[in-house]
A = this chain, B = another copy of it.
Amino acid sequence: MSERNFDGLSEPLANRVISGLAKIGLALRNRAWREGERLGLTPTQAQVLTLLRARAPAGARLSAVADDLQVRAATASDAVAALIRKGLVEKGRDPVDARAVGLSLTPEGRRTAEEVAEWPDFLMRAVGTLDESEQAVFLRGLVKMIRELQVRGEIPVSRMCVACRHFRPNVHEDPRNPHHCGLVDAAFGDRHLRFDCPEQEPAGPEAQQAAWERFTASPAAPATPSKETP
């Protein structure tokens, strides 16, 4: 009677995942346009402010901004010029390399950046409809995808835990907090993994690879305790 095979007639699962991600990406950008109007900011400018806020107080070079935003240096230069016109960003020459400029937020830029940081609140509620373990699995999935993109050179590397020299995955018994951060000397779980940790220090390629294998070896979150007993 009714036993058709949906797996046969539908496109790969990954297609649907991507279309969902695209929908959220679109929502984020369009939200940024609308919110930005209140503050006189465009999405790109807002991203620059956010980046400089994350990098404060050290600041960042123009080329670092361009890299992070995945645009050409010329585009980044435009956006920064607009922000300087608005009094939100300052530039100063880098003492060690006179070609480079060091960008930093003005006090008003700092205030504005704080406001920008609240834009994604509308998504917070949506993420909040997932229970904690769903969120953890979801985050782990994002980490896996983003790392793959970074390894392939599709997107710029960011300061992820999984590429950090202090990251020691799956070293604890507690299934909720199996990993360890050597820097703060504390156990943590998938749900704590960061994409942009200010303290991150990249590990060497082999160490990174080894940690990655150990990280991905055990299935997911607190779902299944590992098979191996040390």
Contact A186-B30, Cβ < 8 Å, known A20-B143, A158-B23, A192-B10: no
Residues of chain B within 8 A (CB-CB) of A188 are: 6
Residues of chain B within 8 A (CB-CB) of A126 are: 144-146, 148-149, 152, 154
Contact A141-B148, Cβ < 8 Å, known A13-B191, A27-B70, A122-B154: no
Q: How many residues of A contact B (CB 8 A)?
A: 83
Q: Is B149's CB under 8 angstroms from A20's CB?
A: no
> Within 8 Å of chain B (Cβ to Cβ): is A98?
no
Copies, count = 2
Interface string of A113-149 (1 = CB under 8 A from B): 0000000101111111110111111111111111011
Q: Is A142's CB under 8 angstroms from B17's CB?
A: yes
Q: Is B139's CB under 8 angstroms from A20's CB?
A: yes
Q: Is A220's CB under 8 angstroms from B134's CB?
A: yes
Alpha-carbon distance A96/B21, docked complex (angstroms): 36
Alpha-carbon distance A194/B149, docked complex (angstroms): 24
Q: Which residues of A contact B (CB under 8 A)?
A: 1-7, 9-10, 12-31, 47, 69-71, 120, 122-130, 132-146, 148-149, 152, 154-155, 158, 177, 181, 184-189, 191-196, 220, 222-224, 226
